Chain A
Amino acid sequence: MTVEKKELQKTEQQAVEGDARRVERQPVYLPATDIYERKDEFVVVADMPGVAEKDVDLHLDNDTLTITGRTDTAAPEGFDTIHREFVSGRYERTFTLSEDVNRDGIKANMKHGVLRIVLPKSEKTRPRKIAVQTE
């Protein structure tokens, strides 16, 4: 799942949905997220239970990375609701990327309802070992 491809899909989707998005009546959830920085990359991990890989969108607009996902939990046909704690809705969260993220290297995957995004640091900001030469 590359960001570029997703971006393209998002654009297409927006074109199709247009004004329909504004009348959306479903709740928007903020996915619980972990963010950490490793030596060569940043990692963003977001809980999006019920969202299939095909229903996740990553959208990069300059410094803003937006993740969205849809989840559908309608009552099964022929069943009554006895107890309900979560409903169908949309996950959405926006992150601001720092200068040192290599935009072209962003990778994402979805497993067990968890979105994991790896954002590599650009070459110039990566810590480097500099050899000290003796004269």
Chain B
Amino acid sequence: MWPIVNRWELEADPFAELQRLHQQVSRAFDGGRYVPGDFPALNVWGNADEVRVAAELAGVDPEKIELTVSGNTLTLEGERAPDPVGEDDAVYRRERADGRFQRTVRLPYEVDNEKIAARYTNGVLHIDLPRSETTKPRKIQIEG
């Protein structure tokens, strides 16, 4: 049914879900506004040549997402517009937060700003950040 790798991931990190729950609870107590640093939820993967970041940004206009890379710091910011509710509408539940958000990620190495690619699919922003050539480890020939 599910790829084995997912189960392994879950068992390896039982705190991820707790952390998420905590975030949801603190968000609820904050009256539906974003707490700086907790939105969007992020996953970061990497290897020697590239870092990949996924951010949960449901319902955000991709045009309103701003990505900035400075050194080895990636900053993601933007705004989520509230759902348009008319004056005569009765609101029964309002759990979806809106407003400005900003999140900063420290990358394991400097990346090549020219090669960064981002795509927004099903409310998740995927960012591919290839490592900058100049910071790649190199074998240095020793002249004898």
Contact = CB atoms under 8 A, between A and B. Distances in A.
B95 interface: yes
A83 B58 contact: no
Contacts of B140: none
Contact of B6 (A20, A26, A110): A26
B20 A85 contact: yes
A39 B90 CA distance: 9
Contact of B5 (A35, A47, A51, A75): A75
B111 interface: no
12 contacts: A34-B94, A36-B92, A48-B58, A73-B43, A79-B52, A80-B47, A82-B108, A83-B43, A86-B43, A87-B9, A113-B122, A113-B123
A100 B100 CA distance: 37
Nearest to B123: A113
A104 to B, nearest CB: 23
B90 to A, nearest CB: 4
A124 interface: no
B92 A74 contact: no
Interface residues of B, number: 52
Contacts of B46: 79-80, 82
- Of A35, A37, A79, A85, the most chain B CB neighbours within 10 A belong to A85
Interface string A59-101: 0000000000000111110111111111110000000000000
What are the nearest 7 A-B pairs in CB distance? A113-B123, A113-B58, A79-B45, A49-B58, A49-B123, A114-B59, A49-B56
A113 B41 contact: no
B42 A85 contact: yes
Contacts of B96: 32-34, 45, 47
